[in-house]
Structure 1
């Protein structure tokens, strides 16, 4: 059985990715910078030290984009799902003034409070965090990236 989700525990953290891999990349980049200073230009090993730093920078960029690209695609899918859900419940699409972040935050609202909360989010220009905190009946999302 899945753990009941709420505002306090809804964030997804993958320790191997968010802590281990990021720490190793960061520490490796620091070590590569130190290595450059240990091998000044025109001495043996300088080119290798620079290439090592370039490799760690590339690794850090890959680490960043490997997370942001799927999240962006997921955000678009969530907005489309919530737009469809709003249409099914009301016969109208979501208000175009609703930001991407607001629509994404609304995905946790139950059908009973979704429509009213969506209207309130637009009218009061609620932040995604405010929307999540306003949800009474939390609808869990265990299938996100």
Structure 2
């Protein structure tokens, strides 16, 4: 544990030393003929650090691009599957709707040509002075009096 804290302190000192003696922003691009070897060492370390940072950035960027491309392919596949499913369901819907319309039309035509057979009891009128009991139990069907049924 003590070794790790010493290492951290050493690293902090080395980084601080980079900026104590030399301000890199105001330094000339090419060192003077009799320049300090410590300064060139600082520049070389800084360039190495920049290269490493750039490499790490490029690697992270490449990894991210690959992840995004993989996600895109996955979503495109799901989109294709959903589109195919939608088209299939659309076709099924059209067929079912046509079948429903056909059955509804058939039902309508059957109900118009053959209306329900209402059965009813004639009311007791007391015809011919009787009680009407003999006629009250006779059931009449509407079809017997329909002209459409007779002509067919």
Which interval holds the TM-score relative to the shorter structure? 0.3 to 0.5
Report the TM-score, using the length of structure 1 for normalisation. 0.35
Looking at secondary structure, tell me which structure has more helix per residue.
2
Question: Could you say which structure has the larger radius of gyration?
Answer: 2
- Normalised by the length of structure 2, the TM-score is 0.33
